Amino acid sequence: MRKPIIAGNWKMNKTASEAVSLINELKPLVADADADVVVCPPAADLAAAAQALKGSNIGLGAQNLDYHDSGAFTGEVSADMLLDLGVQYVIIGHSERREYYAETDETVNLKVKKALEKGLIPIVCVGEKLEERESGVTAEVVRKQTKLALLGLAESEVAKVVIAYEPIWAIGTGKTATADDANDTIKEIRAAIREVFGGAADEVRIQYGGSMNPKNASELMAMSDIDGGLIGGASLKAEDFSKVVNY
């Protein structure tokens, strides 16, 4: 049995003091959740967020990390820096980072390896563009992204990874994949993992992401292979996010 995991990707929203307010509002609303609950504020908010989350059932995630240990990498944040703040999860390879910050399957793989080596749980994003979906190559695209992200990992490491399937055309657009389509693609992702890593595929939690909200969460979460959600817009309001968590 895979425990559901619902994570909020705040993207570049909320100052540190706003983050603390949102967390304080959220804590009582999700205190009885059956799922693992995670918030991923911007890097500049992580220290304040960690403090505000103390004693709660909400985990802390970052939105990115560098794959080097330390050194001359201006503007970057290392795994050790995140761990020292109490961060447990890190989103890797979000489509916005692939599109605007030139992340590739190769750098995603390096970041996944670094996160696992250091003891952070990676939330690895994969997903097809609209033209890929319309050309009927969704399965190939997500299979390839998944295999390349996990390249060279041990089976025991793969079991810890969380994958977020996010069709790019559904992110921030209000368009959601149908629950059946999302589930079918997630099955493809799990099958691709099984081809390389065998039974570890059954332990990997695979989230859906892309305009998931209080209205569609229960239908998506009822599907056989959807193990959670990566929530953008709806994670910025405590009430909306808590409704997704308590789907």
Stretch of 44-52, 147-155, 187-195, 231-239 contacting ligand PGA, by CB under 6 A:
231-239
As annotated, the binding site for substrate includes 9-11, 172, 211, 232-233
Matching residue, tokens 């799922």 = 35
Nearest one of 231, 223, 174 to 37, comparing CA atoms:
231
Least distance CB 229 / ligand PGA (angstroms): 8
Say whether 134 is catalytic: no
Least distance CB 183 / ligand PGA (angstroms): 18
Binding mask 170-209 for ligand PGA (x = CB under 6 A): -xx------------------------------------x
CB 161 within 8 A of CB 122: yes
CB 40 within 8 A of CB 8: yes
Say whether 157 is catalytic: no
Helices of type H across 4-137: 16-30, 46-53, 79-85, 95-100, 105-118, 130-134
As annotated, the binding site includes 9-11, 172, 211, 232-233
Please give the radius of gyration of the chain, using alpha carbons only, rounded to the nearest integer: 17
Stretch of 56-64, 109-117, 128-136, 225-233 contacting ligand PGA, by CB under 6 A:
225-233
Vertex 204: Cα angle to 61 and 199 (nearest 5): 155
CB 232 within 8 A of CB 172: yes
Gap between the Cα atoms of 152 and 113, Å rounded? 9
Nearest one of 202, 116, 102 to 152, comparing CA atoms:
116
Least distance CB 72 / ligand PGA (angstroms): 31
Catalytic residue among 96, 103, 166, 188: 166
Residues of this chain, 54-93, that bind ligand PGA according to CB under 6 A: none
Q: Across the strands, what pairs with 7?
A: 38, 230
Task: Please tell me whether residue 230 binds ligand PGA under the rule CB under 6 A.
Answer: yes
- In this chain, which residue has its C-beta nearest to ligand PGA? 232
- Write out the E strands in 130-239: 162-165, 205-209, 228-231
Task: Please tell me whether residue 210 binds ligand PGA under the rule CB under 6 A.
Answer: yes
Catalytic residue among 94, 103, 128, 188: 94
Task: Please tell me whether residue 221 binds ligand PGA under the rule CB under 6 A.
Answer: no
Binding mask 130-149 for ligand PGA (x = CB under 6 A): --------------------
Nearest one of 140, 150, 185 to 167, comparing CA atoms:
185
* Cβ closest to ligand PGA, residue 209 vs residue 228: 209
Least distance CB 9 / ligand PGA (angstroms): 4
Residues 6+ apart with CB under 8 A from 237: none
**Catalytically active residues, by annotation:** 94, 166
Q: Which residues bind ligand PGA (CB under 6 A)?
A: 9, 166, 171-172, 209-212, 230-234
